[in-house]
Amino acid sequence: MASSKPDFDPLKMSEHMKDSAQQIWLAGMGAFAKAQQEGTKVFETLVKDGTKLQEATQQAQAKVTEAAHKMSAMASDMGQRASGHMDKLEGIFEERVAKALQSMSLPTAQDLADLQARVAALEAQLAEKSTPAKRK
């Protein structure tokens, strides 16, 4: 009777394990090389993308600065124009008020100033005349 024992050859088993270990090692080395290669590509892509983003940001910043300068210049110009218009409007208002006061026969600011000057002159004359009288 022949025994039905499985063939167990330690030498074959050792050789098979050695081949499997070698293949696993090579697969690991291949995966490591692939990861390094892909990692370098990913890194280079990230650097390129970062450079593009930085350039776009700098261009946007330059445009914002330029727009701010333009807006400042426009605001200054509008302020000057508005000031000029306000001066004109003020002049027109003063002329109309003066005409209205004149039509009502009210004295103008110049009339009042002239009157004050005359009163001051008269007071000075009175003071001169009354001073010698006191001396006598």
DSSP sequence for 25-51: HHHHHHHHHHHHHHHHHHHHHHHHHHH
pLDDT over 60 (residue 2): no
Question: What average pLDDT does this structure show over 44-52?
Answer: 88
At 87 the pLDDT is 86
d(CA 134, CA 130): 6
pLDDT over 80 (residue 134): no
